[in-house]
Structure 1
Amino acid sequence: MGMLRGGTVRRRFTILYATGFLGSGAVLLALTYLMSGTRVTSRAPGQPPDGASGGSLIAAEQRIQDLQGQLAELHEQQNHRLLVGSLIALLVMAGVSLLVGRLLAGRVLRPLRLITAATRRVSADNLHERLAVAGPVDEVKELADTVDGLLERLEASFVAQRRFVGNASHELRTPLATMRASLDVAVAKPEPAAQTLALAGRLRTELDRVDHLLDGFLVLARAQHGTLADRTPVPLDELVAEALAARAAGIAAKALTVEGGAEGAGLAPAWTRGSAALLSRLVENLVDNAVVHNEEGGWIRISTGLDDGEARLAVETGGRVLDQGQADRLTRPFERLGADRTGSETGSGLGLSVVAAIVAAHGGRLAVLARPEGGLSVTVALRAAAGQEGTGGLTA
């Protein structure tokens, strides 16, 4: 019974079919053996014929008894041979039942395997494909039609999301631009009031935060539901150098020490293939996360390189000791740790979630680890570009 509850469906079907065949064969052999077990019974001799002597009658009866004994012995031998033959046939039937059961189970499950293989091939890039199983209207075809209906609904949902990604930037940024223009007009008036200037400054800050948050939403949506049609060779080390140079002011303001050079000096070449815009955003978010959520006078260690056919980027920072469970939650949208992170004016809680989505869109791996000494270690592993798989090593 335990074997039927565990294992694959084919194994369970094989056991069920084999048990049925073997049980039927055992019942048939048992009936044959029972029906062949008739006994030869002796019959009481009748009256001796006229003129028969007593001696000849005794001799005849003795002869009959001898023949009956021989017949009974032959019958026992026949039953023994039949029993042995039945056991041998039962053993052969057991092997044949397993073989036939496996073949029948494979035949019955073949349409399901085809449906499973076709469903696995369907992704966000080819949701238009359908199983389109032909044949009579049975349980298998109903299952395939149900899967096709599900794929149709998923395709409609993905199309709607992609349309939103394409239109949201214009539709949502237009009001922000209008508000910025209104602020500029109010400030540009002759001798604006001090309160007007202060209010305009605060509103600009809030508008920048909304714009940054909107940009994060759009990048996250594109990474999760968009297609990467613009795959090109991208150097991760150069992206790191550009991101560090762009954030030199923030690094200097916090007196951070960057191991790897403020301009990426010493970083090993690491090329991957993907969307240059998304990968640039990935690196920028990692560097931003390391700068914004670092402590005053802290440090940042950045390394790039190739290892086992993968282009890797590692960013480490110091800081307070974190629990690994807390670090694992940082890849969720709007997930932050502690008041020092939630109080950040530039953080939106989307940084590492956007990184995770971009890594997943490129088929890579992301590891966010809490360092035992304090701080975080974030490692991104992407497939190396063609021609660089053979080199290795990370350089800080």
Structure 2
Amino acid sequence: MPSFYGRGPNVARTAPVILLLGQAGHAGGMIGLRKGTVGLRFAILYAGVFLMSGIGLLALTFLLAAGGRSSLPVGRQPLTEGSLDEVYQRSRHLQEQLAEVNAQHSRQLLIGSLLALMVLTVVSLLVGRALAHRTLRPLRVITAATRRISADNLDQRLSISGPADEVKDLADTIDGLLGRLEASFAAQRRFVANASHELRTPLATMRASLDVAVAKSDVAQQTLTLGDRLRTQLDRVDQLLDGFLMLAQAQHSALTDAADVDLAQLVAQAVTDLTAGIAAKRLSVTEDLRPGMSTRGDAALLARMVENVLDNAVTHNEEDSWISVETFRAGAEVRLVVQTGGGVLDQRDVDRLAQPFERLGADRTGSENGSGLGLSIVAAIAAAHGGRLELFARSQGGLRVSITLPSVPVPAEARA
């Protein structure tokens, strides 16, 4: 049976193509492994392994084919001297035809093999992508579940079910970490709440003792002055403890007494309560309180949130300045926006104001008024009600405070 594979020239034509495919596969694999996602890197790795194996198998096939020899059948008929030249010429012609056929079949086999290799490489890339996607599905579930867990819902767990493999071990490890974080956060909040509550008793005793001491008729003026200073400091400590209790309640307590609360009514009441402070600084207050701006939550906490925002706008404002208050609906949310005048602020400093005890400095806080917990309490109350607090430094100067909360759906007859 004659061989249909050529010899040296065909192998020489095949080698550069195989080398080029190998280099392209290696370069593509390196680029994908460096820049792609884990699933893409797995897919490229699978396709690269298949490509290298196919190239090696193709090269081995051509090397083995190159070692075959073509032969012609030799007849057993006696040869005469006159027919010897004719036999040689016929044999040479047959050899040339056989070499041409071998070369043609070798080219066809090479082209077919390369096309098949390229098609199977693409197929292996797609199959590898699908396999990598399926293999990494538990990791995507863990990532999505972990992103949903924050400091406000540390009681949630991944609870990944499945065989006891590396993915299950990772999920169990994250659940254990969440459990430790939940216990640590809960202990911290209980400590703050309990310490604030326990300190109220000795604080009240100190204030009562001070009032009794300064109420005596033979007390010197110097002692009365000192008593006034101490009473001022005791009031500040009492305000600080009240802020601690409110912050702990907003961060830790469940909203058991939820009801529909109109933000516009809370704003109107807070502005009325702050009339004295507004008049003392000669502030101009502009209100745009649209009706029906209701959210669902704890009325006492929401009232404290609005009061803190407006008190911050009055306390940390300049004299003869202004305050703008508006409530409006944005889709499925209601917003309370409070803007104040003043100097130009740095947005990086403003971003820190939602953290406890963060201030903008003496030029804005004025004196030692305030405990530095006002906006952090606002942020905690908003987060407890499924909302958010946003602080912006106005380009014209001053501060813009925006509180966004889920709205209560408006009945159809009310919209009409």
TM-score by length of 2: 0.82
The one of 43, 55, 80 aligned to 1:26: 55
**Runs of 4+, deviation exceeding 6 Å:** 388-392
Instruction: Quote the offset at 1:19 in angstroms.
Output: 1.2
Amino acid across the alignment from 2:267: V
Structure 1 residue 78 corresponds to structure 2 residue 101: no
Contact 1:130-1:151 at 8 Å conserved across structures: no
Structure 1 residue 194 corresponds to structure 2 residue 221: yes
Query: Aligned runs of 1:280-291 on 2, under 5 Å?
Result: 280-291=303-314
Name the CA distance, whole Å, in 1 between partners of 2:240 and 2:202: 15
Name the CA distance, whole Å, in 1 between partners of 2:49 and 2:294: 60
Name the CA distance, whole Å, in 2 between partners of 1:15 and 1:381: 45
SS in 1 for 2:401: strand
Aligned to 1:219: 246
Instruction: Quote the offset at 1:226 in angstroms.
Output: 4.5
Name the CA distance, whole Å, in 2 between partners of 1:191 and 1:83: 117
SS in 2 for 1:381: strand
Name the CA distance, whole Å, in 2 between partners of 1:7 and 1:359: 39
Contact 2:294-2:408 at 8 Å conserved across structures: yes
Moved more, 322-331 or 167-176: 322-331
Change beyond 3 A, Cα 1:163–1:390: farther
Structure 1 residue 135 corresponds to structure 2 residue 141: no
Please, which runs of 5 or more residues in structure 2 have no aligned partner? 1-29
Structure 1 residue 268 corresponds to structure 2 residue 297: no
| Alignment coverage as a number of residue pairs | 383
Aligned to 2:200: 173
Amino acid across the alignment from 2:290: A
Amino acid across the alignment from 1:268: R
TM-score by length of 1: 0.85
Give deviations 1:352-383, integer Å, cap 9, x for gaps: 23223333333334332333433222222222
Instruction: Quote the offset at 1:79 in angstroms.
Output: 1.0
Instruction: Quote the offset at 1:75 in angstroms.
Output: 1.6
The one of 232, 240, 243 aligned to 1:205: 232
Structure 1 residue 312 corresponds to structure 2 residue 335: yes
Change beyond 3 A, Cα 1:54–1:148: same
Contact 1:318-1:376 at 8 Å conserved across structures: yes
Instruction: Quote the offset at 1:325 in angstroms.
Output: 3.4
Aligned to 1:263: none
Contact 2:315-2:365 at 8 Å conserved across structures: no
Please, which runs of 5 or more residues in structure 1 have no aligned partner? 261-265
SS in 2 for 1:374: coil
Instruction: Quote the offset at 1:306 in angstroms.
Output: 1.6
Contact 2:154-2:181 at 8 Å conserved across structures: no
The one of 206, 212, 233 aligned to 1:185: 212
The one of 138, 142, 148 aligned to 1:111: 138
Structure 1 residue 371 corresponds to structure 2 residue 400: no
Instruction: Quote the offset at 1:342 in angstroms.
Output: 4.3
Amino acid across the alignment from 2:31: G
**How large is the RMSD of aligned CA atoms in angstroms?**
3.0
The one of 353, 359, 366 aligned to 1:330: 353
Structure 1 residue 35 corresponds to structure 2 residue 57: no
Contact 1:236-1:313 at 8 Å conserved across structures: yes
Name the CA distance, whole Å, in 2 between partners of 1:173 and 1:106: 58
Amino acid across the alignment from 1:79: S
Amino acid across the alignment from 2:260: P
Instruction: Quote the offset at 1:305 in angstroms.
Output: 2.0
Aligned to 2:280: 253
SS in 2 for 1:99: helix
Name the CA distance, whole Å, in 2 between partners of 1:8 and 1:310: 36
Instruction: Quote the offset at 1:300 in angstroms.
Output: 1.8
Amino acid across the alignment from 1:22: L
Moved more, 149-158 or 347-356: 347-356
Change beyond 3 A, Cα 1:130–1:229: farther
SS in 1 for 2:82: helix
Structure 1 residue 356 corresponds to structure 2 residue 384: no
SS in 2 for 1:55: coil
Change beyond 3 A, Cα 1:41–1:170: closer
Name the CA distance, whole Å, in 2 between partners of 1:230 and 1:2: 58
Identical-residue share of aligned pairs (%): 60
Moved more, 336-345 or 89-98: 336-345
Contact 2:142-2:158 at 8 Å conserved across structures: no
Give deviations 1:83-110, integer Å, cap 9, x for gaps: 1210121122112111221122123212
Moved more, 375-384 or 316-325: 316-325
